[in-house]
Structure 1
Amino acid sequence: MKDKSVKEIKEIIDGLSVDKYLEYIDILRNDERKSVQSIAVKMAKKLDSIRKENERLEIINAFENEGYNKGYVYIGGIDEAGRGPLAGPVVASVVVFKPNTKIEGINDSKKLSESKRDELFDIIKEQALDYGIGIVNNEEIDEFNILNATYMAMKKAINCLEKTPDYLLVDAATIPGIDTDQKAIIKGDSKSISIAAASILAKVTRDSIMYQYEEMYPGYGFKSHKGYGTKEHYEAIEKLGITPIHRKSFLKNVL
């Protein structure tokens, strides 16, 4: 490699598979040129990052693997988005993967940028054995309360599946009135790959709905706060009044 320019070395490195990294790191570290040694350092950092991500992806399959070890064969993860906002629906999703699925970067939707969520949204749908999305609007939230509406959204999501799971991993909840075995996992959206996937599908779906409401009800800032109770949102309600998508049961102190 010593007879090659830094540019040529970079081109070689860009085309390398990860399993070749260690071999080339050792070679480049022994090069006298500081710029080449710097490439080796960057490669080592990238390799370390890849290893850590692989370890994390192994860990977030643990609850699914526990289920398979118990004899379950079709495991779904469930999460919701939109329990807390003053306006808009609550959205739930369920995702079923094949065993030991690994999707780089998948995590609790709240820990991801919007662009990363959008990217993963399509990847999840492509890789999932099955998925479902359930939506319950603000009027039903007012009628049944947010907890029951959340359960309704989760049941709707399950009913969208072609095949009902024999085991459900649920983020911090147990869904009443269903026969399927369940496991409630606190902060499951960062501990289970299928719950994390469900959190992303639910969040991206709900955000897209709120973007449509931004066009329908200008001046409320739905695009930025997604219906949550920000200062901007409360000021808009005070100035413009409530819309047909507001949850009246959440605004008793304002009405």
Structure 2
Amino acid sequence: YRKSDFLKGIRDSKKLTRLGRERWYRVLKKKAACQYVSVSARSIDQNGISRAAREAIARLLKKFPIKPNLVLLDGSLYAPPKYKQKTIIKGDEKIPLIAAASIIAKVTRDRKMCALHKKYPHYNFAQHKGYGTRAHMAAIRRHGLSDIHRRSFCTRIVS
């Protein structure tokens, strides 16, 4: 990949404030070819998180109009074997392009969770964005699981 000047100063999405992520999101959407895919809770429950992630990566790569020379991946993820790829542990902290992807993913997910809050207000997704906070777990215990909760993740909470 080529280093891009507009990525100078970018950081891992987890190390940015919400406003910082939103600012970077606007820059990235304007200056980069950004794509994303979603995976349903049901698909994760049926296929497992690893397989769901692999399938999502394959779907994502098909969305780009040109085949990338190199696919950079964070953590223990990998792309289909037909792609030249490199996996970097803590890549979102080390590689600006992976940090950019982490920002697109986080902002997109957070926005989706805020939209889902309107459909499921008693879970308060607008506040915790679906992460395993005490408030979220308490809401699951109080209201049960919705159709967007991963049952495979929530078994300890509702058992």
Fold conserved (TM > 0.5)? Answer: yes
Equivalence map 1:5-24=2 (5 Å):
none
Q: 1:108 aligns with which of 12, 18, 25?
A: 12
> Retained in 1: the 8 A contact 2:124–2:136?
yes
Tell me the residue number matched to 2:109. 206
In angstroms, what is the RMSD of aligned CA positions? Answer: 1.4
Cα distance in 1, alignment partners of residues 135 and 124 from structure 2: 7
Q: Which residue does 1:218 correspond to in 2?
A: 121
SS in 2 for 1:106: coil
Conserved 8 A contact 1:131-1:160: no
Contact 2:35 2:60 in 1 (8 A): yes
Unpaired stretches in structure 2, ≥5 consecutive residues: none
SS at match of 1:179: coil
Show the counterpart of 1:122: 26
Query: Offset at 1:170?
Result: 0.6
Task: Report runs of 4+ in structure 1 exceeding 3 Å deviation.
Answer: none
Q: 1:251 is paired with a residue of what secondary structure?
A: helix
Q: Alpha-carbon deviation of 1:214?
A: 0.8
Unpaired segments ≥5 residues, structure 1:
1-74, 76-98
Partner of 2:76: 173
Taking the TM superposition and a 5 Å limit, the aligned residue runs for 1:32-47 are none
**What displacement does 1:247 show?**
0.5
**1:3-57 Cα shifts (integer Å, max 9, x gaps):** xxxxxxxxxxxxxxxxxxxxxxxxxxxxxxxxxxxxxxxxxxxxxxxxxxxxxxx
Q: Which has the higher strand share?
A: 1
| Alignment: residue pair count | 157
Percent identity over paired residues: 38
Structure 2 residue matching 1:227: 3-state secondary structure? coil
Helix, strand or coil at the partner of 1:214 = helix
Deviation string for 1:208-252 (max 9, x for gaps)?
Answer: 110011111012121121111111111111111111101111122
**Is 2:43–2:52's contact at 8 Å kept on the other side of the alignment?**
yes
The answer to whether structure 1 residue 238 and structure 2 residue 117 are counterparts is: no
Separation in 2 of the partners of 1:177 and 1:158?
9
Partner of 1:65: none
SS in 2 for 1:131: coil
Q: Which amino acid aligns with 2:23?
A: E
- In structure 1, what is the Cα distance between the partners aligned to 2:60 and 2:48? 18
